[in-house]
Amino acid sequence: MRQTCRLCGHSRLTQFLDLGYTPPADTFLLKEQLDEPETHYPLKVLQCDTCMFIQLSYVVPPDILYRNDYPYESSTTRTGRKHFDGFAESVVETHNLSNTDLVIDIGSNVGVLLKGFQDRGCRILGIEPAENIAQIANKNNIKTQAVFFNHDVAKEILDEHGKAKVITASNVFAHIDDLNAVLECLDILLDDDGIFVIEAPYLVNLLKNLEYDTIYHEHLSYLSIKPLVPFFENNGFEIFDIQEVDIHGGSIRIFVNRKSCRDISEKVSEIIRSESNSDIYSIRNLMLFSENVKRNRNNLMNLLYKLKSENKRIAAVSAPAKGMTLLNYCGIGRHILEFVTEKSQLKINKYTPGAHIKVLPDSALVAKEIDYALLLAWNFKDEIMGNLSEYRDSGGKFIIPIPNPTII
Q: How far is CA 348 from the centre of its chain?
A: 21
Q: pTM score, two decimals?
A: 0.94
Tens-of-pLDDT digits for all 408 residues of the chain? 889 999 999 999 999 999 999 999 999 999 999 999 999 999 999 999 999 999 999 999 999 999 878 988 887 788 899 999 999 999 999 999 999 999 999 999 999 999 999 999 999 999 999 999 999 999 999 999 999 999 999 999 999 999 999 999 999 999 999 999 999 999 999 999 999 999 999 999 999 999 999 999 999 999 999 999 999 999 999 999 999 998 888 899 999 999 999 999 999 999 999 999 999 999 999 999 999 999 999 999 999 999 999 999 999 999 999 999 999 999 999 999 999 999 999 999 999 999 999 999 999 999 999 999 999 999 999 999 999 999 999 999 999 999 999 999
- Helix, strand, or coil here: 129? coil
In angstroms, the CA 17 to CA 11 distance is: 18
In angstroms, the CA 261 to CA 256 distance is: 10
* Whether the Cβ atoms of residue 63 and residue 26 lie closer than 8 Å to each other: no
Phi, psi for residue 17 in degrees, rounded to 5: -145, 135
Architecture in CATH of 304-407: 3-Layer(aba) Sandwich (3.40)
**Domains of the chain: which residue ranges?**
304-407
In this structure, is the dihedral angle defined by the CA atoms of residues 207, 209, 212 and 216, taken in order, positive or negative?
negative
* Rounded to 5°, angle at Cα 106 from 42 and 208: 50
Residue by residue, DSSP assigns 225-288 as: HHHHHHHHHTTTEEEEEEEEE-STTSEEEEEEEETTSSPPPHHHHHHHHHHHHTTTT-HHHHHH
116 closest CA partner among 158, 145, 86: 86
Q: How many CB atoms lie within 10 A of CB 301?
A: 15
